[in-house]
Amino acid sequence: MSAGEQTSSGYILHHLQNLTYGKMPGEDGWRLAHNAEEAAEMGFMAIHLDSMGWSIGLGLLFCFLFKMAANKATTAAPSGFVGFIELVIEFIDNTVKDTFHYKNKLIAPMALTIFCWVFMMNAMDLIPVDWIPQLVALITGDPHMFFKVVPSTDPNITLGMSFTIFFMMIFFTIKNKGFMGFVKELTCHPFAPPTKGPAIVLAPLMIAINFALETVSWIAKPISLGLRLFGNMYAGEMIFILIALMYGAGLAFGIFAGFLQLGWAIFHILVISLQAFVFMVLTIVYMAMAHDVDEH
């Protein structure tokens, strides 16, 4: 779908709308949403088929590439693709060792998966915004087919990952500190309630204050983790869409847009890498906090 076939606002809204599959109120059965209003009416249980498809597909691609590298690995000095994969693994392993000082064989593979998976989802933003949607429109015969290709610009994906990490944090906190240790972490920080003397009458109030503060702090972790990734990638996608609009404004603007797109794409390589790294490092930090029994 080219920018010249519709208004600028329509072009932008079309590229920001997910391919949504759900159930409309008052209708039997599930179907695709034909516009943003129908997608909103389908509610929480609706599925973004494009985000789910790309995220699962890229996850499988990650598994395939690393499996292929493992099969090709030998005791000789690595080179080419295998060497690159080993550099990535070594980089992630060193990052985990510098941040996570406890014993848990799950953390390093999880960090590797998060970094590579998020990076691959972010990297879809480097594909020109019209190429894949136009291909989908050609295949389906529907020029108005919604189809987003960057899963990390969908808050359902980023918050889904961050809340999964949040639940793992709770699991490891209870596993390492015990259920009562988890309760004490919520009720005895940051202000230690008095346990003797006349001031003990203030203990229930301090426990309530601690619980409120710690609950907000805990819930803020997954929300900020997911929204940070979503916000940065959404802003990057929006800039690519705005640049694409310039191609329909004449030859001069089209040439200028080409230079802008190239420059932003080069800079965006840093953005997508940094966002994947930040998401991974914060995950490692949260896992370290869940294992930090000495502080408790």
Catalytic residue, chosen from 31, 35, 176, 228, is 228
What is the β-pairing status of strands 31-32 and 47-48? unpaired
2 tagged catalytic: no
First to last CA, the chain: 57
CA atoms of 124 and 156, how far apart (whole Å): 17
CA-nearest of 101, 75, 129, 104 to 242 is: 129
Angle of helix 251-291 relative to helix 155-187, nearest 10 degrees? 30
Catalytic residue, chosen from 51, 152, 162, 232, is 232
232 tagged catalytic: yes
79: CB partners within 8 A, 6+ apart: none
Catalytic residue, chosen from 2, 8, 94, 224, is 224
Angle of helix 80-99 relative to helix 107-123, nearest 10 degrees? 120
Other beta carbons within 10 angstroms of residue 81's beta carbon come to: 12
CA atoms of 150 and 55, how far apart (whole Å): 9
- Mapped onto helix, strand or coil, the DSSP state of residue 109 is helix
**How many Cα atoms occupy the beta-carbon half-sphere of 3 within 13 Å?**
17
CA-nearest of 281, 288, 284, 279 to 173 is: 288
Query: 21 forms bridges with which residues in the sheet?
Result: 32, 47
Residue in the block written with tokens 């000095």: 77
DSSP state, residue 47: E
CA atoms of 19 and 246, how far apart (whole Å): 25
31 tagged catalytic: no
Catalytic residues: 224, 228, 232
